[in-house]
Chains A and B, each alone.
Chain A
Amino acid sequence: MIIEGRTWLFGDKIDTDVLAPGYAMKLSPEGLAQHCLEAVDPDFAKLVKPGDIVVAGANFGLGSSREQAAISLATLGVGAVLAKSFARIFYRNAINIGLPVVAIDLTQEVAPGDILKLDLAAGTLTRLKDGYHRELQPMPPHIIDILEAGGLMAQLKQKRGL
């Protein structure tokens, strides 16, 4: 799995109310996604492009269990979230819908707009302009299985022979 895109940089504690605000939760996934991160960056939903990579600080996705927090990022085409650390429910939700999430602290290393290339199978991250390189923590095999199946629903379908 290779993901290449521009960096969007956020700080610590990006919570689920910032990712999927309650007042927009009745909207369609596409409508809700237009409000993703607007409290901290009003232009994000308008300007993010498929494959772009969200880089953030500690405790990304804290708060609610709402899966829409991860779905909104995926709906906007975000290719991966690279954060110093994740809240547990968000982390599971992202894996379950097939959005790659990697615990790595890049907030001091990269700048907004940097093009990053992420190779999940090889466990590497590269910045294209200068070849800056990092090794990623290996993911547990059962999580790679879910991501490779395309998410937990897809994996359930396979198991049920559908």
Chain B
Amino acid sequence: MPQTLTQKIIARACGRTTVKPGEIVTVNVDLLMGQDASGPRRWRPRLEELNAKLWDPSKVVVVSDHYVPAVDAQSAEILNISRRFARDYGVKNFFDMQGISHAIMPERGLLRPGMFVAGGDSHTPTAGAFGCYAAGFGATDTTAIAITGETWTTVPETIKVQIDGALGPEITAKDVMLWLCREMGMENSFKSVEFMGSTVSAMSMSERLVMSNMAAELGAEAGIIGVDEITIEALKATGGDYEGAEAWVADPDAHYYKTVTLDVTKLGPQVAAPHAPENTDDVGAFAAVKVDQCYIGACVGAKLEDLQMAASVLRGHRVSPDTRLLVAPATVRVTEQAAADGTLATLTAAGAILLPSGCGACAGMGAGIIAEGEVCLSTTNRNFQGRMGHKDASVYLASPYTVAASAVTGHITDPRELRTSTRNAA
């Protein structure tokens, strides 16, 4: 029976050759990720109550990224809970203030195509860019996985998202995903999405991570991209395991729940208005919106390539005195690379304010929170009411190009227009 990639991975994880949508199966989890907000802090009391150990510490990753760096005694204690947990339970893959889990796992070569990845965070689907089935789970589910190495799942229907055409200059995976949120809505619950087509094939791994990351905003449980040369090159570059990786692609005649077809040839920059990623329109629809804060951060929007996109716009410009530009690189390794290649210097020369790596303002927990009535334009992935601070603040979402261009003007700006006006002035 031909199968989608989703089915193939779940079948392998439950020790079968095929599975059908709707079946309830028990799977062996290949990798469990817990972060400081929902992992060790929630796991430890429950493990102690059950007198249990981790089923396999080598398959557990702990990342402290939500409450970093500590800003008060409570957050400092939460970080210590993670440190003690990693030590006492033998977790070697512990990343303490090294960056955001969804950027750490690909960067450190922890993902292997075909894996069933369970993460205590809703953006766990990011790992789908490496041909993994990766889904978010709550703290009780992840506790049960930590003890048994197993969980139940209903085999989801798979939606095929076929994306073709060449993206224009300064048009990114972020624009594609914001557009897709509007086209598909955010209620694709209990469905897996598989991205394919010439646009996806041409995307770098950094851009593919954006696609899979924002499958969460579609409401999908996973957002998977089949393995190709780009996947294998990324695995080689990060010390990941790529043996047999090329097998993790969907069967050509697999059955899909539905197919969504997009032609991105004419796609312009997209912006999502408050308070949902599906409130998306062309950037021009928001040209009058003044922004108090521009934020480049989060797992989805502060990887090295994202910072490079912003730097390419900001080179030779200054951040408008009417706004502020905050940059929180996704990982410390991104900071290191951006420092080495000059990207950071470009950003700071333009007046950007550097923040520590972590979930930060995106999760409403770290530096960069906004006040009542303030407007933020952000490279992050969701803009629910109250998420980035006050419930009566407004968060708009866009690509790093658009956020950087808007930082220069102080209002939401098409990055292509900024380039044109700069050329004309020169």
CB-based contact B122/A21 at 8 Å? no
CB-based contact A89/B137 at 8 Å? yes
A39 contacts across to B, CB distance below 8 A = 385-386, 391
Smallest beta-carbon distance A6→chain B, Å: 25
B136 contacts across to A, CB distance below 8 A = 65, 89
A21 to B382, CA, bound (A): 14
Given the known interface contacts A88-B189, A153-B46, A156-B144, the answer about A23 and B219 at a Cβ–Cβ threshold of 8 Å is no
Smallest beta-carbon distance B166→chain A, Å: 32
CB-based contact A151/B363 at 8 Å? no
CB-based contact A17/B141 at 8 Å? no
Given the known interface contacts A64-B122, A65-B121, A92-B137, the answer about A17 and B364 at a Cβ–Cβ threshold of 8 Å is yes
CB-based contact A89/B186 at 8 Å? no
Smallest beta-carbon distance B180→chain A, Å: 16
Interface flag for A116 (CB, 8 Å):
no
Q: What is the 8 Å Cβ interface bit string for chain B, positions 383-424, against chain A (1 contact, 0 not)? A: 011110101000000000000000000000000000000000
Smallest beta-carbon distance A130→chain B, Å: 31
Q: What is the 8 Å Cβ interface bit string for chain B, positions 60-97, against chain A (1 contact, 0 not)? A: 00000001000000110010000000000000000000
Interface flag for B339 (CB, 8 Å):
no
Q: What is the 8 Å Cβ interface bit string for chain B, positions 167-180, against chain A (1 contact, 0 not)? A: 00000000000000
Interface residues in A129-155 (C-beta closer than 8 Å to B)? 140, 142, 151-153
Smallest beta-carbon distance B289→chain A, Å: 21
In the complex formed, the residue of A with least CB distance to B121 is A65
Size category, B interface: 35 or more
CB-based contact B365/A22 at 8 Å? yes
**Contact among A15, A85, A97, A156 with B189 in the assembled complex (CB-CB below 8 Å):** A85
Interface flag for B354 (CB, 8 Å):
no
CB-based contact B382/A65 at 8 Å? no
CB-based contact B140/A67 at 8 Å? yes
**Contact among A23, A58, A59, A160 with B389 in the assembled complex (CB-CB below 8 Å):** A23
Interface flag for B37 (CB, 8 Å):
yes
B74 contacts across to A, CB distance below 8 A = 26
Q: What is the 8 Å Cβ interface bit string for chain B, positions 118-140, against chain A (1 contact, 0 not)? A: 01111010000000000111111
CB-based contact B138/A96 at 8 Å? yes
Residues of A in contact (CB 8 Å), total 41
A65 to B119, CA, bound (A): 9
Interface flag for A8 (CB, 8 Å):
no
Interface residues in A7-32 (C-beta closer than 8 Å to B)? 13, 15-18, 21-23, 25-26
A89 contacts across to B, CB distance below 8 A = 122, 136-138
CB-based contact A67/B139 at 8 Å? yes
CB-based contact A25/B140 at 8 Å? no
A89 to B137, CA, bound (A): 6
A157 to B136, CA, bound (A): 24
A97 contacts across to B, CB distance below 8 A = 140
A90 contacts across to B, CB distance below 8 A = 138
Smallest beta-carbon distance A120→chain B, Å: 19
Interface flag for B190 (CB, 8 Å):
yes
Given the known interface contacts A26-B74, A59-B186, the answer about A70 and B138 at a Cβ–Cβ threshold of 8 Å is yes
A91 to B122, CA, bound (A): 13
Interface flag for B147 (CB, 8 Å):
yes
A90 to B221, CA, bound (A): 12
Interface flag for B369 (CB, 8 Å):
yes
Interface flag for B52 (CB, 8 Å):
yes
Given the known interface contacts A17-B387, A23-B369, A38-B391, the answer about A162 and B50 at a Cβ–Cβ threshold of 8 Å is yes
A25 contacts across to B, CB distance below 8 A = 37, 364-365
In the complex formed, the residue of B with least CB distance to A59 is B187
Given the known interface contacts A18-B385, A67-B38, A162-B50, the answer about A152 and B391 at a Cβ–Cβ threshold of 8 Å is no
In the complex formed, the residue of A with least CB distance to B152 is A142
Interface flag for A77 (CB, 8 Å):
no
Q: What is the 8 Å Cβ interface bit string for chain B, positions 88-115, against chain A (1 contact, 0 not)? A: 0000000000000000000000000000
B369 contacts across to A, CB distance below 8 A = 23
**Contact among A13, A16, A64 with B276 in the assembled complex (CB-CB below 8 Å):** A13
A70 to B386, CA, bound (A): 18
Interface flag for B143 (CB, 8 Å):
yes
**Contact among B24, B51, B187 with A85 in the assembled complex (CB-CB below 8 Å):** B187
In the complex formed, the residue of A with least CB distance to B361 is A22
A70 contacts across to B, CB distance below 8 A = 138
A68 to B119, CA, bound (A): 16
Interface flag for A62 (CB, 8 Å):
yes
- Of all A-B residue pairs in the complex, the 6 with the closest CB atoms, nearest first, are A22-B364, A93-B138, A96-B140, A67-B138, A17-B384, A65-B136
- Chain A to chain B contacts (Cβ below 8 Å), 23 pairs: A21-B386, A22-B386, A22-B387, A23-B386, A39-B385, A58-B187, A62-B219, A63-B384, A65-B121, A65-B136, A65-B137, A65-B138, A66-B138, A67-B42, A67-B138, A85-B187, A86-B189, A89-B136, A93-B138, A142-B152, A153-B49, A153-B140, A156-B144
Interface residues of A (CB under 8 A from B): 13, 15-18, 21-23, 25-26, 38-39, 58-59, 62-67, 70, 85-93, 96-97, 140, 142, 151-153, 156-157, 160, 162
Given A39-B391, A160-B52, 6 additional A-B pairs, CB 8 A: A13-B186, A23-B369, A26-B67, A66-B38, A89-B122, A96-B138
